[in-house]
Amino acid sequence: MAPKVLVSRILPPQTQAKLLQQGFEMYQWQEDCAIPRNVLLEKVKGVDAIYCLFTERIDEELLEAAGPQLKVVATMSVGYDHIDVKAVKARNIKIGYTPGVLTDATADLTVLLTLGASRRIKEGIRAAEEGSWTTWGPTWLCGSQITNKTLGIVGMGRIGEAVAHRMKAFGVSHIVYSGRSRKATAEKNLNAEYVPFESLLTESDIIAVCCALTDETRDLFNYEAFKKMKKTAIFVNSARGGIVQQDDLGKVVDNTSNCYNSLDLCKVSQTVRALEENLIGAVGLDVTTPEPLPASHKLYTFPNCLILPHVGSATLETRENMAQMTLDNILAGLRDETLPFGI
């Protein structure tokens, strides 16, 4: 009998073609949006395998709805905070994910956000497109340089290390990191220094959040944390929105923007003053709470807050790799084998 598989989205083309050749008895959600919870709960009944994305919550309710024959849950993501791992493992169901293949794409995007935020790219694009670009000015749209800055990485895992390597090429002089444990390779190859979270906040010119969302890291960046940062700090999050208390971030960006807004940036003297007094701070986010962040959200209104719609891994090569790894996990799980990329 053909195995029953639920697939929660259309996959990138090459893997989608391979999926269709498997001869599964398959339910695949066909819309270009997350499968609604009620449809998921209905269609999961009796399946042997679930091929999901991080947009689907895999919890007791879903496992109960699926039934005792379920063998494997494979997510096309490296993050698995949407999966109740304890509940799944308690039922002896295997869990697969996609480590490694999205490191480069996500690190690239983290650097893009860092450069974009520090060089005020949002304001620059707006000025060009909206006609407020009048003339070249010695201090107009001046941001801050990466060279000789201290980079703080929160979570020196695969992605954190890849971000640090890239940023080293841009001239950062010192790399500090915090997290659960020391990382020998980062210390050896990057001369990175393991510091308490508090020190990372106060010392860093650029802070990149690269850790997983766990009970320990949820809301890690709250108002108290933001207050300890340098007023000039560039804060970038390409990990998970839940690591940041977003309302507190709003307050902080609000204060920083007031610094901008209280100065007429067209007046050279005041722009120089802003730079001299280090009033320039900026934020780059690829992840938010909720996702999508509604277009009416206040965070979009800040000129120094750059927001992207969770596209860290969005290169076709990476997405094909992620999709293929997830399919490999499903196939191994259905054969009762150890998953090639299991948790």
Residues that bind ligand DGY (CB under 6 A): 54, 77-79, 102, 312-313
CB of 165 to ligand DGY, least distance (A): 20
Residues 215 and 84: their CA atoms lie apart, in Å, by 12
Rg of the chain taking only CA atoms, in angstroms: 22
Is-contact 80 343, C-beta < 8 A? yes
**For residues 201 and 209, which CB has a smaller minimum distance to ligand DGY in the complex?**
209
Q: What are phi and psi of 37, to 5 degrees?
A: -55, -45
Tokens of 294: 């509604």
Nearer to ligand DGY among residue 102 and residue 206 (C-beta): 102
| Side chain identity at residue 291, one-letter code | E
310 is catalytic: yes
State the DSSP string of 275-331.
Answer: HHTT---EEEES--SSSSPPTT-GGGG-TTEEE--S-TT--HHHHHHHHHHHHHHHH
Report, in Å, the least distance between residue 286 CB and ligand DGY.
Answer: 8
* Nearest distance in Å: CB 9, ligand DGY: 12
Three-class DSSP category at 103: helix
CB of 239 to ligand DGY, least distance (A): 8
List the end-to-end C-alpha distance of the chain, in Å, as a whole number: 28
Return d(Cα 67, Cα 126) in angstroms, integer.
52
Cβ closest to ligand DGY, residue 241 vs residue 281: 241
96 or 312, CB closer to ligand DGY? 312
Catalytic residue, chosen from 82, 165, 174, 310, is 310
Q: Write down the least CB distance from residue 54 to ligand DGY, Å.
A: 5
Nearer to ligand DGY, 242 or 250 (CB): 242
Angle at 128 between CA 124 and CA 130, to 5 degrees: 110
Active-site residue list: 310
